[in-house]
Structure 1
Amino acid sequence: MELSQLPLVFLLISNIYSEQTEERLKPRVIIKPDQHVFRGETVTLRCDIYDEGVTSWRYFWYKEGLGRVFSDGQELTISSVTESDSGEYSCDRFNGSKPSPRSDEVTLTVSDPKSVLSVSPQKWLTEGDPVTLICEVHNFSTGWTFSWFTLTESPGGYHLLSDSSRGAGGRYRISSAAVDHTGVYVCRAEREKSSYKTQYSNTQLLWVTGVSAPVSLRVSPSRTQHFTSDSLSLSCEDQSNSTVWRVRTYTDLWGLKDCSSIPRGSHTGSTCTISYVYTSLIGVYWCESESGEKHHPVNITVHSEVILESPVHPVTEGDSLTLHCLYRYTNLSNLRADFYKDGSLIQNQTTEMIISPVSKSHEGFYSCKHPERGESPKSWISVSGFHSESQISVLSILSSVLAACPYLLVTVVLIFKCCRMRAIS
């Protein structure tokens, strides 16, 4: 090697040594328990160094977007993180003469996932029907346990179900629904091996109708959809007059309420009158006794211009069903509209839609649409089985006749023999 090349070699060796020294002095950020955590958890960031023998260093922390030092300890602890703590963090250290190289940035992500509750196959049930409540945490499918609650009337009141462990897998199954399963349900997810819990989920109203009810809810005008600013009357009719009934409601805005407790609502006996209907009153209304017995739910919908005139209570199989499209600003009954079931067009440009006879297959969400005035909300039309009382009476008559047949036959034979013996004598 020529002497003229020695300075270059020494320069290369010096650069390599300087890079190795700088790399050795460059700290790194370590995040515990993880770089991706959940709201409310405790996170510790440590500015780690290779040269542990040096104890006189001071440490400085930086966060992307702040542009300044905000802590001077080797460890930075955030006791209850929120989404605002998400970001890229870095650190360096200073021994009194010059700072070390700054560390590479490390990203901390804080999430606050939501619990989402749904019902399968539907939330309007008859005694004995199966139903499943499904709780999910979107984008985070594993590592959760679930709790199930019913909503109480007190503000923010949640009642933990005693058998909520059945929902450990995200599903709360009821194999045979009973009337007392009626209620407003929510769920909540808890992270395994962590103290993190999601907020309460959206609400789902589960309604179970008894096979025979002592009371019925009469709605006037007799339909489930109503125009804004109109008046509305709901009455609990008990033929026996043996129980005091009140009209109760659940709406997204007001929650669980007595009908008289909502704005513009008043109670007289078992009748609730709403003097001015508005969209915040959209919800479910039912009759409830003093003991908490619930019957005959009706889903009331409010719209400004176009509504569907549909029956308040389930239609019986074999009966006829007639639907009309109503418009606030006209009394004409010959205006034509399109009718839809579950979002699909089933009849177009007609003044009314008639289904006869009705069967279970006709259950679904119905709406109507006028090309100029707009579309109505959707209403669920339920179809019930044949009248149980008629079936019972027919069966009882048949069974009585069949049971009496042997005795009638013996009686006829005996009468015939007696008449014959008289004729001989």
Structure 2
Amino acid sequence: MIIWSDMEFGQLPFVFLLISNIHSGHTDERPKVKVSIKPDQHVFRGERVTLRCDIDGEGVTSWKYSWYKDGSNSVFSELQEHTFSSVTESDAGKYSCYGAERGGSRTSHISDEVTLTVSDKLRAVLSVSPQKWLTEGDPVTLICEVKGSSTGWTFSWYTDTVSSDCSDHYELLSDSSRGAGGNYTVSSAALNHTGVYVCRAERGKPVYYTWYSKTQPLWVTGVSPPVSLIISSNRTQHFTSVSLSLSCEDQSNSDRWRVRRYTDNQQLENCSSSLRGSQTGSKCTINSTITSDTGVYWCQSESGENYHPVNITVHIGVILESPAHPVTEGDSLTLRCLYDHSTPPNLQADFYKDGSLIQNQTTEMIISTVSKSHEGFYYCKHPERGESPKSWISVTASSRSSRSDGLNPMIIGVTAGLSAAFLFVFLLVLLWRYRNNKDSVNVPTELTYAECELKSAKKQNKSKGYKGKTTESSDIMYTGL
């Protein structure tokens, strides 16, 4: 007596199929089968997924298809293409198929198993290269990816703005490529590229969207922004429990600007909550600072353009007193290490730039003449009180250099204007003289008589043969001038 296990019973259809093929002599002639999955073997819950069975047999006009899942002997579909309109985790598994000729004796090989993986809805991942802090004119690339899957995606990029009800609002970039590549490149960053960005990927029909990525900020600094963010204490690091005032000021003193901030917990929001401060027009006041006020603050116009980002840190303990705005080449720079529980607050501390000790045991560090090489991250450290957060100190070209850079275009413009004016005046003078000369020809003028004395030349007398003293004739002639 033969005893069959459950697994052996599950394989009986394949055994009988193999025996029949051997008996019919088609063992070596059976066509191969290929299973494909679209859009990908790794898909996400809610996507439309299609399994397709292709048989390369010649001379067969019609196949009957049989689909199997996870080695089961149960046929769950007899279509060449089986589609899940909205795939779920339960649809994941290993799939295989084979075909039998309709009305004939030919059968195919059984396909290799192909694995379908179904994951929860995915979130796109956004990163920036080379860095999020830029100087005007630098190149930058936003990179959007779908981790673990790279097939068939197209990408879109958005700016994140704060709506009137303080909720996030994503606005599609006007030049977003929606291309298959996951890169959005700005060859020369402008001041108004400052902002907070997100991206999203899509594929398939109907379209399947990933979740929006987490936010990614981009901060662009420059020499002459159209508006300046003014900080009451003119420094970037602050103690807790102090009042902090920020305002956006432009040349026209308009109130069309608002102070916005992007905090360390990746929240885009108005400058201050109503509980701890207020925002009136272009001015924001935080009555009592806390560490969660740390973030990047900037000015936003009514149309949503962002300018002049400043990184502000609220810290308990030691802070570095450094200027909030870029330092000009040739100016002096003074850094101090402050502690909120000491009087005076200045500490005798060590000062570091980009991780390297540059001055030790001093209450302040002075750079008498700043150059571009002094640009970098600075912090101070006290052996007992601890160390301050890092602050980036930016160095800009001097006004003389800036004027020199812009001198040639200015001279060209002024010269061209003066040349045109001179030519215009010259033509007017010519026209005036021409008209005067014309009038002098047509209108009779009074004669002015001048007395001219005509003298006979001695040469003329000699030609007549006279010798000795010559008598010169003197006649009077009047001519009109």
Paired position in structure 1 for 2:186: 174
SS in 2 for 1:280: helix
Q: 1:118 maps to what in 2?
A: 128
Q: Does 1:222 align with 2:234?
A: yes
Contact in 2 for aligned 1:115/1:189 (Cα 8 Å): no
Alpha carbons of structure 1 residues 122 and 288: separation in structure 2 relative to 1, 3 Å = closer
1:148 and 1:167 in contact (8 A); partners too: no
Shift of residue 191 of structure 1?
Answer: 4.4
**Which of 317, 320, 326 is 1:308 aligned to?**
320
Matched with 2:161 is: 152
- Which of these residues, 243, 251, 261, is aligned with residue 231 of structure 1? 243
Q: Percent identity?
A: 64
The 5 Å alignment of 1:98-113 reads 108-111=116-119, 112=122
Counterpart-to-counterpart distance in 1, 2:187 and 2:161:
24
Matched-pair contact (CA < 8 Å) for 1:117–1:202: no
Of 197, 207, 210, the residue aligned with 1:185 is: 197
Matches within 5 A, 1:364-383: 364-383=376-395
1-side partners of 2:402 and 2:50: how far apart?
72
When residues 123 and 22 of structure 1 are mapped into structure 2, their CA distance, relative to the original with a 3 A threshold, is same
5 Å matches for 1:392-407?
none
1:352 and 2:364 correspond: yes
Q: Deviations over 1:241-278 (max 9, x none)?
A: 35554433333658444435564121345432101212
Greater shift, 380-389 or 133-142, is seen at 133-142
Q: 2-side partners of 1:320 and 1:142: how far apart?
A: 55
Change (3 A) 1:389 1:318: closer
Aligned match for 1:384, one of 396, 409, 433? 396
| Structure 1 gaps, min length 5 | 1-6, 12-16, 47-58, 64-68, 92-103, 404-425
CA apart distance, 1:44: 7.0
Structure 1 range deviating more: 286-295 or 267-276: 286-295
| Residue number among 282, 286, 290 corresponding to 2:298 in the alignment | 286
Q: Secondary structure at the match of 1:24?
A: helix
**SS state of the match for residue 369, structure 1?**
strand
Cα distance between partner residues in 1 of 2:11 and 2:284: 83
Rounded Cα–Cα distance in structure 2 between residues aligned with 1:270 and 1:145: 39
Instruction: Summarize the alignment of residues 5-20 of structure 1 with structure 2, pairs less than 5 Å apart.
Output: none
Letter in 2 for 1:117: S
Contact 2:263 2:296 in 1 (8 A): yes
Distance 1:131 1:18 in 2: 62
Aligned twin of 2:373: 361
For residues 331 and 151 of structure 1, do their structure 2 counterparts lie closer, same or farther at Cα, with a shift above 3 Å needed?
A: same
SS at match of 2:213: coil
* Residue of structure 2 in register with 1:250 after alignment: 262
8 Å contact from structure 2 (residues 310, 324) kept in 1: yes
What CA distance in whole angstroms lies between the structure 1 residues aligned with 2:256 and 2:13? 85
- Residues 90/176 of structure 1: CA separation in 2 closer, same or farther (3 Å cut): closer
Aligned partners of 2:193 and 2:306 also within 8 Å: no
Which residue number corresponds to residue 215 of structure 2? Answer: 203
Distance apart, 1:312 and its partner CA: 0.3
Match of residue 24 from structure 1: 15
Q: Secondary structure at the match of 2:177?
A: helix
Secondary structure in 1 matching 2:209:
coil
Aligned to 2:60: none
For the aligned residue pairs, the C-alpha RMSD in angstroms reads 4.8
Contact 2:146 2:201 in 1 (8 A): yes
Q: Do the aligned partners of 2:331 and 2:369 also contact (CA within 8 Å) in 1?
A: yes
TM-score (norm: length of structure 1): 0.65
Are 1:38 and 2:44 an aligned pair?
A: yes
Taking the aligned partners of 1:165 and 1:249, their CA distance within structure 2 comes to 28
Q: Mark the runs of 5 or more structure 2 residues left unpaired by the alignment.
A: 3-7, 18-34, 53-66, 97-111, 416-481
TM-score (norm 2): 0.59
Q: Is 1:299 matched with 2:311? A: yes
- Measured in 1, the distance between the counterparts of 2:12 and 2:304 equals 78
| Residue identity in the other structure for 1:114 | A
**Matched AA of 1:109:** T
Deviation by residue 1:38-86 (Cα, 9 ceiling, x = unmatched): 343245789xxxxxxxxxxxx99889xxxxx9x995699865446x559
Shift in Å, 1:386: 0.9
Rounded Cα–Cα distance in structure 2 between residues aligned with 1:261 and 1:236: 18
Between 1:235-244 and 1:130-139, the stretch displaced more is: 235-244
> Separation in 1 of the partners of 2:343 and 2:389?
20
- Paired residue type of 1:148: W
Q: Are 1:89 and 1:105, in contact at CA under 8 Å, matched by a contact in 2?
A: yes
